[in-house]
Amino acid sequence: MSSADRRIIFASSLGTAFEWYDFYLYGSLSAIIAAQFFAGLNETASFLAALLAFAAGFIVRPLGALVFGRIGDLVGRKYTFLVTITLMGASTFLVGVLPSYGSIGLAAPIGLVLLRIIQGLALGGEYGGAATYVAEHAPPNRRGFYTGWIQTTATGGLLLSLLVILVVRLGVGEAAFAAWGWRIPFLISVVLLGISIWIRLQLSESPAFVRMKDEGRRSKAPISEAFGKWSNLKLALIALFGLVAGEAVVWYSGQFYALLYLTKTLRIDGTTANVLMAIALLIGTPFYVIFGGLSDRIGRKPIMLVGFLLAAVLYMPIFKAITHYGNPALEAALAASQVTVTADPADCSVQFDPVGKAKFTSSCDVAKNFLASGSVAYVNVAAPPGTLATVKVGDTLVTSFSSSGLDAAAAKAKAAEFSGTLYKALKEHNYPVAEKAVPVKNPDGSIAKNDDGTDKTATVYAMAPADTAAMNKPMLVVVLTVLVLLVTLVYGPMAAALVELFPTRIRYTGMSLPYHIGNGWFGGLVPFVVFAMVAASGDFYYGLWYPIVVAAATFVIGLIFVPETRHRDLDDIPS
């Protein structure tokens, strides 16, 4: 590899890593962002709303792929991804200064979603440009190895976001981080933006694009040529359903959802979860380049197909192992004392409302919200119409209530009574429940007093965080590393495979759209879809069927329809 090659790979990879850093900051801090920008919803609904706002950036990525892919095929690779990184950095910085829900109300989540959309549009034009640029510079027999460095950038950006969050968290403390410190990683992005722009300004245009331009072979209408001509549209469909859809769910399940599972479901503190995930990412990241290089020798297709198949087979046991090593007390309680929700099915709804207008007041919704927000798995049993929902913990039965028609004070009192009874039952059956005394306040906000003049207190219950001392951290790192290795199998050769599918004149547009539909819609929705399935079913592992089915389907489609492309000459692919 020459010094010029190293400079091209470094510049493309570093800029792309910074762009992924910007994008994944939001997801890494989704629990805090839920409290800051969706404070008007209950805990379960606010977290789902935060995840959907995260997904909004993914949903618009195909539009960004069309807009910037067209520009990249008409104007050039270099200048297009200069524009995309500027948009990404600016919108990320603005998230860091955006007022919260408590300051500006509904304008806060609206502004957040708009900034996420801008990020998604920018990222939609980034990856295709970087992958195409590097591949068109690479020697034909080392294309997988060269583009393997680009594949490290998504994980590198996630790792960088976790490390910056960890340093800031440790520096300011948990309370300050939750209140205002979470903004610092977003604000830092303006420095990374300046570095990225400076680096990319040093690059020259792709030689394949320059030759095509000099020979007058540029496409005049890249979008219509890429997707209006069946021979090219067929390539896009094969890329989407035979490669990218499976890669997307494996990537987001194996790295991003795994982090959310540690913190949200298993209640492992954010610092510990970030450290564990960061170690696994550090161990696994070199394998993007290793598997990319291996694909130059044995082919792109067999490596990726093995990754899809292993993910479909191993996800259930892997996530059960994460529970076993991460929160053994919760696992033991779930096994020993099953929780059952018996309710009228018509009384139960999916507790998601992005605009905060719906009221989840039924006895079923009340019961499930307490359990879901407390990371308690449960089984659903149908009850006759009109029956109040009940929660059975082992042999203890707790009756829920409907808050419909109750004023705020009465609803709060009923909720306190129900939660207290429910948490006591959970604690009696060895669920990890914490309790603490809190001051009782009078209507005017002053603290109520006992007859002897001491402060009156009430006992408040909540699910306890995972016991750090009881965790098997080395085994957690091993299991998380296996998840990352599955990602490297399917993602390491991916850039080379996609670039080699499409002719030069429409390559940027042709590969960008299926890549971002797959990653934006199939992958970006993983956290939201999985958590929504878990909240509805009560089963921690039920949501995993989504990535399992998609990975299995991609394996079958890829096996039948995806060609092996490692020997192709990029300039000779027919259009």
Digits of tens for pLDDT over the chain (575 positions)?
677 777 777 777 776 777 677 667 777 787 788 788 877 666 666 766 776 776 777 778 888 888 887 887 777 767 787 788 888 888 888 989 999 888 888 788 888 888 888 888 887 777 777 787 788 788 888 999 998 988 888 778 878 888 888 899 889 988 899 889 999 998 988 888 888 788 777 777 766 667 777 767 666 777 887 788 888 899 999 999 999 999 999 998 998 889 889 988 899 998 899 889 989 989 999 999 999 999 999 999 999 999 999 999 999 999 999 999 999 999 999 888 889 999 999 888 765 544 444 566 889 988 888 888 788 889 999 999 989 999 999 889 999 998 888 887 888 888 888 888 999 999 999 899 888 887 888 777 788 888 888 888 877 778 888 999 999 999 999 999 999 999 999 999 998 999 899 887 888 788 888 888 888 788 877 877 888 788 788 888 999 999 999 999 999 999 999 999 998 887 766 55
So what's the pLDDT on residue 355? 41
Beta bridge partners of 458: 438
Exposure class string for 370-385: b at 16+ Cβ within 10 A, else e: bbbbbbbbbebeebee
| Secondary structure class of 10 (helix, strand, coil) | helix
Q: For residue 340, give the nearest of 303, 382, 373, 369 by alpha carbon.
A: 382
CA distance readout (Å), 80 to 120, 124, 148, 255, 445:
15, 11, 21, 29, 57
So what's the pLDDT on residue 15? 67
Q: Which fold has domain 3-327+468-572?
A: Growth Hormone; Chain: A; (1.20.1250)
So what's the pLDDT on residue 573? 62
Q: Could you count the other beta carbons within 10 Å of the beta carbon of residue 28? A: 27
Q: Could you count the other beta carbons within 10 Å of the beta carbon of residue 201? A: 11
Q: Could you count the other beta carbons within 10 Å of the beta carbon of residue 524? A: 27
Q: What tokens does 99 get?
A: 């007022």
So what's the pLDDT on residue 268? 93
Q: Contact 449/417 with Cβ under 8 angstroms?
A: no
Separation between Cα atoms, residue 94 and residue 87, nearest integer Å: 11
Separation between Cα atoms, residue 398 and residue 414, nearest integer Å: 13
CA contacts within 13 A on the Cβ side of 272: 21
Phi and psi at 14, nearest 5°, equal -65, -45
Q: For residue 132, give the nearest of 504, 442, 452, 422 by alpha carbon.
A: 504
Q: Which segments of the chain belong to CATH 1.20.1250.20? A: 3-327+468-572
438 sits in which H/E element: strand 433-439
Separation between Cα atoms, residue 454 and residue 522, nearest integer Å: 57
So what's the pLDDT on residue 359? 63
Q: What tokens does 334 get?
A: 């779930």
| pTM: predicted TM-score of the whole model, two decimal places | 0.81
So what's the pLDDT on residue 356? 43
Got the DSSP string for 297-362?
Answer: HH-HHHHHHHHHHHHHHHHHHHHHHHHHHH-HHHHHHHHHS-EEEEE-GGG------TTS-----S
So what's the pLDDT on residue 357? 47
Separation between Cα atoms, residue 402 and residue 364, nearest integer Å: 8
Separation between Cα atoms, residue 83 and residue 469, nearest integer Å: 48
Q: Contact 501/340 with Cβ under 8 angstroms?
A: no
Q: For residue 129, give the nearest of 490, 495, 489, 572 by alpha carbon.
A: 495
Q: The dihedral of CA 330, 331, 332, 333: what is its sign?
A: positive
Q: For residue 213, give the nearest of 304, 97, 77, 325 by alpha carbon.
A: 77
